[in-house]
Each structure stands twice: as structure tokens, then as C-alpha cells.
């Protein structure tokens, strides 16, 4: 059984479309578990309506109010019971074969890597708030190529994994939980932990529509043109950038300090520039 965990917060604008796209998946053996993080709109009422419609295929996790998206997903992952777990944002649309295709790759990786922590992530199509295509995928926008981008050291300096595309097996959950206090983004932590301690596998086919609507909380960050060029002009800005993630890097297992972080950052910048 595949369990889909969704953290919601003031999501009434889009959440119906997201859950509808889950209900329309070609793979049918799934359970949707939702935790609301203290919504002040009618999100909870919409979730309860969906629970009545889906019955035993959906459960709403007890919530004690707002803890933020990182802790909310940590609670959801710890609460999950499925053989495989997928993380889901509230404002996207899953393509019909998303679960099926991701699970197929997961099973292939598990056959080759018996007993190991395995996480599979995919590409996504970028769209605006009304689902109008942006004309490129997340990987294309950010000039990611594989397997280079998904190695542990590269994940530590630039995360190529959107949490809303990930599927984890139970061993991957054991590797990823609990989260450290330093975690800036749940998908970055999970991707780095699995890349270091297991198998991080990529399906380069887009499996969902990712909305860029100005209020995104997590998921696929799209790098602005010239971001690194502007950053590298100021040594102090570079140090501050490292200082922001120093504890996270230590907690996730990156052992190369500032010099190593800068080396891998610059190498990643050069690689992406050549790809552009």
C-alpha cells in the first residue's frame, strides 16, 4: 500500500483539485493521510468533505495547531504506516500515472538494492496558478542533470529534489526520521539523508503540475537568473549563506566545512553554467 501524506494550511483555493487528482490515480491501492497545520480558512471543512467521500481511503491526523511545514511533514511521516510513503503539497495537480510510475521505479531499485533505504523523485511541469504551462520542467529551469545533481555532496549545496515528487520505502523513513532542529526544508533533509545512507533514484519524466503562484511554501524552488553571480560578488554574502546552513550540513553528515561547501558550490555553479 502507498500512503500519501499531505500537510495543509489555508489551502482552500487549490486543495480540492489536488485531492481530486489523487482520487483519479491509475494505481488504486493508496491511503491519503492529511494533517492540517492550523488553517484559518475553510480547508478543514473541505478535508472533512473529502473524507466523507473517500471513506477508509483517507484519514485526518489529529493536529495541535501550527508547527510549520517542516515539523508538520515530520509528524506525518512518523504517523504513516504504508509500505511506501509519498509526500504531497496542497496546491498542485498530480498526473494520473504519478503513483504508478514512481512505484514501478521504486520496485526496480529495491530489486537491485535489497534491504536498503530507497527514495525515488521525479521531474515536474511548471505551471502558473491557473495551470497554464510555463513551457519547461523544474529540471530544465534549473539545468539539473543526472546522476551528477543527485550525489550527496551536490545535494548538500543545491537540492534538486522536490518533496512533492518523492516516494520513500520504510528503510528510507528510518534513515530520515527524526528531523534535526536545524532542518530548513523537509525535502532537502530527506534527500540528503537518503543520498548519504541509501539510494536516491530519479525519474526524469514529469509526474505532476507544480503551481508557481507567489505563495508557495515548499517544494521546487526555481533559481533566478544571475542568483549565484550576484552571490559570489560578495565574500561576506557567501559566508553568511554558509553560516545559515552550517548546522544543517553538520547534522546531515556533510563533513567538509566551509572550504568543502564552497568547492562543491562553485563546482555545481560551473556545471550548471555549462548546461545552460
182-198 pLDDT, tens digit each: 999 999 999 999 999 99
pLDDT tier for residue 230 given thresholds of 50, 70 and 90: low
Q: What is the pLDDT of residue 64?
A: 85
Cα angle 126, 94, 156; round to 5: 60
Average pLDDT, the chain: 93
Range of weakest confidence among 14-23, 121-130, 227-236: 227-236
* pTM of the complete model: 0.93
175-180 mean pLDDT? 98
Look up residue 267 and give its three cell numbers: 563546482
- The C-alpha cell 492540517 sits at 36
User: Is the four-CA dihedral 178, 87, 138, 69 of positive or negative sign?
Assistant: negative
pLDDT beyond 60 at 224:
no
pLDDT beyond 80 at 227:
no
pLDDT beyond 90 at 221:
no
Instruction: Return the beta strands (E) in the chain as ranges.
Output: 2-8, 30-36, 58-60, 84-88, 93-94, 118-128, 133-137, 167-169, 199-212
Q: What is the pLDDT of residue 273?
A: 80
pLDDT beyond 50 at 219:
no
106-120 mean pLDDT? 98
pLDDT beyond 70 at 229:
no
Alpha helices, H only, 113-234: 138-142, 152-157, 170-176, 186-197, 227-232
State how far the Cα of 64 lies from the Cα of 61, in Å rounded to an integer.
Answer: 10
- The C-alpha cell 533559481 sits at 223
Amino acid at each position: 500500500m502507498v500512503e500519501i501524506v499531505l500537510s495543509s494550511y489555508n489551502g482552500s483555493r487549490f486543495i480540492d483539485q489536488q485531492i481530486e487528482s489523487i482520487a483519479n490515480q491509475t494505481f488504486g491501492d493508496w491511503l491519503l493521510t492529511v494533517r492540517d497545520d492550523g488553517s484559518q480558512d475553510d480547508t478543514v471543512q473541505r478535508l472533512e468533505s473529502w473524507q466523507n467521500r473517500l471513506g477508509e481511503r483517507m484519514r485526518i491526523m489529529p493536529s495541535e495547531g501550527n508547527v510549520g511545514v517542516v515539523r508538520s511533514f515530520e509528524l506525518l511521516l512518523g504517523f504513516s504506516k504504508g509500505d511506501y510513503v509519498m509526500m504531497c503539497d496542497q496546491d498542485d495537480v498530480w498526473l494520473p500515472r504519478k503513483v504508478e510510475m514512481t512505484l514501478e521505479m521504486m520496485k526496480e531499485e529495491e530489486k537491485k538494492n535489497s534491504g536498503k533505504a530507497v527514495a525515488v523523485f521525479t521531474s515536474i511541469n511548471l505551471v502558473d496558478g491557473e495551470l497554464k504551462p510555463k513551457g519547461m520542467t523544474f529540471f530544465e529551469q534549473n539545468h539539473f542533470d543526472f546522476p551528477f545533481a543527485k550525489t550527496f555532496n551536490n545535494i548538500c549545496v543545491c537540492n534538486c529534489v522536490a518533496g512533492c515528487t518523492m516516494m520513500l520505502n520504510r528503510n528510507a523513513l528510518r534513515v530520515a526520521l527524526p528531523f534535526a532542529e536545524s532542518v530548513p526544508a523537509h525535502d532537502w533533509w530527506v534527500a540528503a539523508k537518503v543520498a548519504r545512507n541509501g539510494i536516491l533514484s530519479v525519474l526524469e519524466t514529469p509526474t505532476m503540475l507544480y503551481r508557481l503562484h507567489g505563495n508557495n511554501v515548499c517544494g521546487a524552488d526555481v533559481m533566478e537568473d544571475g542568483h549565484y553571480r550576484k552571490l559570489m560578488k560578495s565574500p561576506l554574502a557567501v559566508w553568511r549563506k554558509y553560516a545559515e546552513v552550517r548546522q544543517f550540513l553538520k547534522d546531515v553528515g556533510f563533513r567538509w566545512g566551509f572550504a568543502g561547501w564552497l568547492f562543491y558550490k562553485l563546482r555545481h555553479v560551473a556545471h550548471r553554467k555549462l548546461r545552460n
